[in-house]
Amino acid sequence: MNLEQLRAALREKQEALKALMPKAFSPEGTKEQVDQVDALNSECEALEGKIAIAERSEAVIARGAVPAVPAAETSAGTVTSVPVAPEGLKGEDVLIKALSCHVVARGTGEPVLKVMADHGMQRLADALASVRVNGKAVNTLVSSEGGLLVPTPLSGGIMPILRVESTFLAAGPTRVPLTNGQFVLARGLAGSSASYVAEGALKPVSTPTFDSISMRAKKLAGIVPITKEAERWTPADVEAYVRQDLQAAMALTMDLNAWLGTGAGASPTGILNKAGVQTVAQTFATPGTPTLAELDSFASAAMLKLITANLTNRNRWRWIMPYRTALRLGDIRTTAGDAVFPEMSLSSGMGPSWKGIPVIVSSQIPTTGGAGTDETTVALVDFSHVLFGEEEGIVLKSSDQATLDVTGAGSLVHLWQQNMFAILAESMHDFGLRTVKAVVKQSNIRF
């Protein structure tokens, strides 16, 4: 009896058992009928055992009987083997069997070709495993040769964009509230004077002058629209990513304007561009490679400017410079090869310092200014006199009802109608100085 005959006999016994069971286990059932059910169970189990042995035997025979298959030519090159279907399978039957094996393999974790072999399709499994086109196996390394068949796994997050570090707030300005969007404080500009006089002479008369610190809230804002599909279908939390990225973008925009804002339009004026700040005009014989004497003269002149303005160093002075300048100061060597300013090492866990004063190194200080497009600014600032006026920190809001003018020229986006929502971030602040003498800078530095 071959495998198909065994399967037919099993089906026959199963049908008989199915018909007998209701009668045998009914109230009118007899002992003879129950004994017949028991006998049929034993016969079915015996047939199932024979079928399992026969299936394994056929698989073993099939694995040892793979015939040599002639090569065939295709438009892509030479195929050195051709898949051969098991006996009795043709056309769509092969596809159905292969897909069934794929489903079983995903459930068991076994290779698909092994499942094919275990189910009597060894010849087809061997043929698929041996396919070669132009001497190359079907693989996942090339999209057109199998890579597209492998699903791309996605993690549940999004790698953030690498952004430069925000530096202004890290320098420690004094925070003051902007009440009703402004901060105005009168300050003395020029003081009274006195002098010695002779007997009967006129005593001197002087008049102190005043001006004021005036800060007005400048609004910094940004909006990012997102489709509901993007929020729903992406495996990562795209809304959280956009919120964090928008906050980082605003912090960097604020950082740039805190140092070098021009005051044009609605933007604030940065502390290095405030009217009346002090300047140094040190000359360098070779601007790109200053001598030690020139560097000492520059540093001394900047410190002397603060000291003569009665701004003594109470551990709040800070050098402000770009990375280019900091690296070049750290690279200066003596004739013996030792670092002249070892404290300028950017790898130091304590942070760089120059002439005993901490250094704020900022990527927001450009190095492309001047006629030669290679000039930058280096400044010495007494941060005990730097003010950061803040009405509110970064506030985040979202809406799916608003209408956005994306380009400012009437290009409208209707969020609710277009199945979108938008995230808005805004902040209101300004920058000021108790005295403009607290900043000393030179803006034509080329090292």
One domain for residues 335 and 411: yes
One domain for residues 95 and 228: no
Produce one character per residue of 26-46: b if its CB has 16 or more CB atoms within 10 Å, e if not.
eeeeeeebeebbeebeebbee
One domain for residues 81 and 54: no
In the 8-state DSSP scheme, what is residue 383? G
One domain for residues 398 and 252: yes
One domain for residues 222 and 328: yes
pLDDT reported for residue 333? 92
Return the CATH number at 438: 3.30.2400.10
- Among 319, 347, 317, 320, smallest CA distance to 331 is for 347
Domain count, the chain: 3
One domain for residues 235 and 268: yes
The tokens of 179 are what?
């009440």
Longest pairwise C-alpha distance within the chain: 150
Counting Cβ atoms within 10 Å, is residue 66 exposed (0-12), middle (13-18) or buried (19+)? middle
Three-class secondary structure of residue 394 per DSSP: strand
Judge whether 338 lies within some domain: yes
Judge whether 295 lies within some domain: yes
Tell me the pTM. Answer: 0.63
The tokens of 149 are what?
């068949």
Judge whether 158 lies within some domain: no
Question: d(Cα 225, Cα 228) in Å, to the nearest integer?
Answer: 10
One domain for residues 408 and 278: yes
pLDDT reported for residue 139? 64
Judge whether 154 lies within some domain: no
One domain for residues 180 and 140: no
Judge whether 215 lies within some domain: yes
One domain for residues 78 and 47: no
Question: d(Cα 351, Cα 333) in Å, to the nearest integer?
Answer: 20
One domain for residues 429 and 305: yes
Low-confidence ranges of the chain (pLDDT < 50): 66-84, 133
One domain for residues 49 and 80: no
The tokens of 298 are what?
């520059």
- Domain that includes residue 421, residue range: 169-196+207-445
pLDDT reported for residue 196? 94
Judge whether 104 lies within some domain: yes
pLDDT reported for residue 76? 44
Question: d(Cα 296, Cα 290) in Å, to the nearest integer?
Answer: 10
- Residue at 334: amino acid letter: T
Judge whether 187 lies within some domain: yes
One domain for residues 130 and 261: no
Judge whether 155 lies within some domain: no
